[in-house]
Structure 1
């Protein structure tokens, strides 16, 4: 299932999981069954984190909630200490640290919510495994209690109680030097610890019910709740598989505490569910936690109408292909019942509902301008260059809105200059630099991919990597760049007839190529672009004959056009026109005219004065048609170019000229005539080279 935009997630799907209207106090009917774990996927800049932020704000002070960034070593909480470097401590894991953090968030009572969640089972389990060392995430509740002591200094009895509550930490810490290893006395220490904490934090009833629950768990071979908790602590310190087993018991305790707090009556009365927001669940930490949670979700008996929390996770995934720039269809909506299961799926994976965050539509891009009037077709250019990715759209729209207005209030920005606009008021950073820093946070990877972005295939990049980028820190640059693209879930959308380009995501490639032109302008070596493309095209010219070769490689011509050598390219294409089948020639034209424009500051190449070997007469009409066709199609195939009627008209006329020149070859004439009919329309609908149809198999 796919949702366009975000309104369906915010206003339909998640409210059905939480049981509360997105904006008002109305409680929603909870569907029968068990909710699914919602995993919203998308590429970088698709708005995944923004979606979780919007959900957090939507339900702030309305339901208990906890947010964690599973890609951050502080879970996205700046004030939390970093994990210890080196080998993980034996009494903590990413999962246990995360559970401490989530429990702390869920235990904060919202102002509009009746009752405060408590977690006796989870507290008992976590304290059992952390009993012989302090764990930084576990100190977060203690820090909050210390702050409370200062606020309640005028209440001696309450202050004294808080001090006693915190005393267990000192008691356990003081026992550390005498403990060490796995002594027989660990069980006594766990018992003492639980006795102190249960009395002060949970109360007698919670202590009793929690121990009863642990007593029923199959943690050890036999024993009561305290014996099971001791076994849990020992299992947690075992091998990786043993630790995962213990972690699943802790996750089960979390779910059991939530279900027990609500009970049958609150569930029947539609008391809204707590909300867990998990960002970056694709990371190793996130994937492991989500897999364990899904397994517990699957294996634990939910009981009749036993309540489960609403869980919304986000994960980095490959974006779908670039959307149709003229698609103005409204956001689709999905039935709430689709995210609930009345029966149990066959495996834990069946509880995960993967929901791609599809690209924004053109209408949604236009809505982001608000009352501002963008320059003509600016919204369409933003939609195409961003592929509808919400984060990129936002940055581009804001940059365009900051641009000076004309006297009638409309923006004067030229879409061709969109990526060069300042990222903010009085900012020295361009919007392209800002977007790239978000999409590729690593400076080394960003610089490498900037230099590799013009390459049309992997082999060319491996050969290029011997000299570029200049000043690289070393290692295996190309392999590391490939890993960056793979780990970043950057899609590969090969060009027709090729396996490339190396940077296969069209959005990322356009941003990197723009950065390469800007880099050429910023650095002392103003001919970096020229030297780079000269080296790249040399890979396709093994005999060093250049355009004098009988049939230059199309990739050689692609890089030649990127150098501004338009006339030599026209000569080569004219020769191909006389020798190559029509579909193959159109495929070559597609690949050649997909070449990027050279920087405006690059000096023009030397005049090409050689005679065209394919011209039958002076001012040959076919040669002239090829020249005009290349010029118009190349101009219309730049990422920031909007369709221009005069350019599309030129394409139409020149393709008709080439069709007429094929009078002796009916099959070829039909191909060129069909292109003459369809290409201008496709160009007017924002299609560009190399993705124009060729009506047959491409010849080499």
Structure 2
């Protein structure tokens, strides 16, 4: 039967087409061998990236491409106590291979045992040890049932029990509870403060009736010596369990022993015959390695691989993913590479190239790590996504506009490109300004789909849709009170900001800056607010929210004028904003400096665009071109120039307004310089500053850079 065709991985081909084949010795998704370019020491590959960069999708693709061709284990590390860790169902994309979840390093090892036993047979050293450390507390029914389900999986895959997982777990629990009856009345043991040792004894008695435990006892006994150097006589599995449950350094030592047992037993199982036949080593795919379970497992694995006197060959391939960057202080000796480094110049793969990417030089654990950030997609990648639709219906520069909007973010780019292709299939054209208004197959808005993926917590997502309209955390908290946002937290905006930190969208909450620092995320949230907030002047509508924020900044301080004007513009009141800017410009004795005036103009230019309705229509380009001059006859020439300038800058703030691609944007850049030059000649004292802005701002707008404001305005902007 033909294998399913692998999905095209835009921008990720060097990883699946070069690095992983050089590690596994098998070409990706082809029944062909590849040259293994690493010797007896192989790196752990760690893929890093923010939400939506395709970390999990990449592992899922590798799992589908290599499943059935080599020993494979696909595990997702989860946070203990989370809905996933406690067994609640999770939505799995259609056609994907769901990873097995684990909430601790020991559980990860259990999952690896279950995945690799069909190839290598029962892990007679490691499996009894895993049973020994995974007992439960007497009387804890829920804990017992969960542990017995884990035991049942290992028993079934080893051929030691038959039936469904639920049946085997129930029978196993009954057998252990029966064996516990004699020990139930025993007094507490000072070396067993949590009361798990009677359960451990019963578990080992029942397991010992199915397989011999002597090989495991013999291996672990060698790791335990008394102070005088002799081997301890106490049952080593009991000692391992006691250490495991005491925590701290004892737990770390126990987990080190479990990891060492796994690697050594796996190496011995991959014996001489398998090596002579060039059978591939296992491929372990570990998702979410930033969680406590995932990071601890990698730490243990790297510690074992860094030992200088290993008696076994370990070539197991491990590809893991991490949310966010890996701080250098956490892995100071890790080798860091870019995806483009995986292929030589010209993109032609040459034998031996992969081995030059990483080489261990000492015995530091982090030296065994090869870190690869999943970089953004290129414009050419996005253009390839759009090739599935008729180019006649897609704007010629749609790929560039989409790339400017998303910054190459893989998830956002894919969803928007799919929506554009779907729209074109319906014989409708797609232009850059319509990108965020597209709908995916099934009719859902693209912003809704993306935000559900990037911000899974519905309560925090709904909060951020509204609170993202505020300028800073103080304004966001005031808005939260006005909107009546409630929850267990006393400060909803602070909780929302902390959620963004936990989701690795930003380093720390910014007290005096935007609540959402990611440009892409903020753009999506603002557009979703524009789409979902009530219309018109209803309570909590777009206009009423911005009217509240306008008043909030007016009341805070005079230095908040720039933000007050920005929210007034966002509420759909450009005439009022122009009038205030014109009044300051024409004042005989200016109360504010030219720097402050330019800052107000710059801040207004970034105002979010109101929803289109009977009260406001997007005519920014037409107004900037002077097509509606009759509406503003009451303004003097300076006021009309300020009106045109404001609307030109407002339009240029759109992510798709690229002067190199958009004729309107190119014209607006020229207009900015012309209007500022005109105003410079009409003001008696602001001539120099406005003249400098007339030279600098068009260039900055063309390059999509921050509009420069003189340094003397920095104190105002910081407020």
Bin of the TM-score, shorter chain as denominator length:
0.7 to 0.9
Q: 2:374 aligns with which of 344, 353, 357?
A: 357
Partner of 2:654: 638
Q: 1:333 aligns with which of 338, 342, 347?
A: 342
Distance change (3 Å), C-alpha of 1:226 and 1:538: same
Q: Find out whether 1:140 has 2:153 as its counterpart.
A: yes
Q: TM-score, normalised by structure 1?
A: 0.78
2:414 and 2:361 mapped to 1: Cα distance? 41
Question: In the TM superposition, what are the counterparts of 1:567-606 in structure 2 within 5 Å?
Answer: 567-577=575-585, 585-601=597-613, 603-604=615-616
Distance change (3 Å), C-alpha of 1:26 and 1:472: same
Distance change (3 Å), C-alpha of 1:267 and 1:698: farther
Partner of 2:127: 123
1:47 and 1:33 mapped to 2: Cα distance? 30
2:667 and 2:677 mapped to 1: Cα distance? 15
- 1:342 is paired with a residue whose SS is coil
How far has the Cα of 1:175 moved from its partner? 0.6
Partner of 1:398: 418
Q: Is the 8 A contact 1:13 1:339 kept in 2?
A: no
Q: Find out whether 1:216 has 2:214 as its counterpart.
A: no
Q: Find out whether 1:53 has 2:60 as its counterpart.
A: yes
For this pair of structures, how many residues does the alignment match? Answer: 626
Partner of 2:320: 313
Q: Is the 8 A contact 2:420 2:430 kept in 1?
A: yes
Partner of 2:461: 446
How far has the Cα of 1:307 moved from its partner? 1.5
2:326 and 2:406 mapped to 1: Cα distance? 11
1:74 and 1:581 mapped to 2: Cα distance? 57
2:695 and 2:148 mapped to 1: Cα distance? 71
Q: Find out whether 1:71 has 2:86 as its counterpart.
A: no
Partner of 1:87: none
2:283 and 2:702 mapped to 1: Cα distance? 49
1:349 and 1:416 mapped to 2: Cα distance? 47
Q: 2:295 aligns with which of 260, 282, 287?
A: 287
Partner of 1:478: 493
Question: In the TM superposition, what are the counterparts of 1:177-256 in structure 2 within 5 Å?
Answer: 177-180=181-184, 192-193=205-206, 195-199=208-212, 210-218=216-224, 223=231, 227-256=235-264
How far has the Cα of 1:449 moved from its partner? 0.9
- 2:371 is paired with a residue whose SS is strand
2:441 and 2:695 mapped to 1: Cα distance? 47
Distance change (3 Å), C-alpha of 1:252 and 1:489: same
Distance change (3 Å), C-alpha of 1:178 and 1:296: farther
Distance change (3 Å), C-alpha of 1:647 and 1:625: farther
How far has the Cα of 1:590 moved from its partner? 2.4
How far has the Cα of 1:561 moved from its partner? 0.9
Q: Find out whether 1:681 has 2:702 as its counterpart.
A: yes
Q: 2:51 aligns with which of 44, 53, 56?
A: 44
1:69-109 CA-partner distances (Å, limit 9, x unpaired): 21377999999689xxxxxxxxx983322221221012234
Partner of 2:395: 375
Partner of 2:350: none
- 2:16 is paired with a residue whose SS is helix
How far has the Cα of 1:473 moved from its partner? 6.6
Q: Is the 8 A contact 1:632 1:648 kept in 2?
A: no
Partner of 1:32: 39
1:281 and 1:340 mapped to 2: Cα distance? 20
C-alpha RMSD of matched pairs (Å): 4.2
Q: 1:659 aligns with which of 646, 652, 677?
A: 677
2:326 and 2:423 mapped to 1: Cα distance? 30
- 2:279 is paired with a residue whose SS is coil
Distance change (3 Å), C-alpha of 1:330 and 1:230: closer
1:492 and 1:239 mapped to 2: Cα distance? 30
How far has the Cα of 1:186 moved from its partner? 8.4
- 1:53 is paired with a residue whose SS is helix
1:621 and 1:170 mapped to 2: Cα distance? 90
1:591-639 CA-partner distances (Å, limit 9, x unpaired): 211110111137359xxxxxxxxxxx97543322221111122123134
Partner of 1:530: 543
1:21 and 1:38 mapped to 2: Cα distance? 17
Partner of 2:362: 344
Q: Is the 8 A contact 1:66 1:106 kept in 2?
A: yes
Partner of 1:156: none
Question: In the TM superposition, what are the counterparts of 1:160-179 in structure 2 within 5 Å?
Answer: 171-179=175-183
Q: Is the 8 A contact 1:399 1:422 kept in 2?
A: yes
2:303 and 2:15 mapped to 1: Cα distance? 24
Q: Is the 8 A contact 1:558 1:595 kept in 2?
A: yes
How far has the Cα of 1:677 moved from its partner? 5.1
Q: 2:279 aligns with which of 271, 280, 289?
A: 271
1:543 and 1:45 mapped to 2: Cα distance? 38
Q: Find out whether 1:514 has 2:527 as its counterpart.
A: yes
Q: Is the 8 A contact 2:226 2:232 kept in 1?
A: no
- 1:659 is paired with a residue whose SS is helix
1:338 and 1:260 mapped to 2: Cα distance? 28
How far has the Cα of 1:64 moved from its partner? 0.9
2:708 and 2:276 mapped to 1: Cα distance? 59
- 2:372 is paired with a residue whose SS is strand
Structure 2, unaligned runs of 5 or more: 1-8, 90-101, 137-143, 328-337, 344-352, 618-632
Q: Is the 8 A contact 2:125 2:265 kept in 1?
A: yes
1:492 and 1:189 mapped to 2: Cα distance? 48
Structure 1, unaligned runs of 5 or more: 83-91, 110-115, 152-162, 200-206, 321-328, 606-616
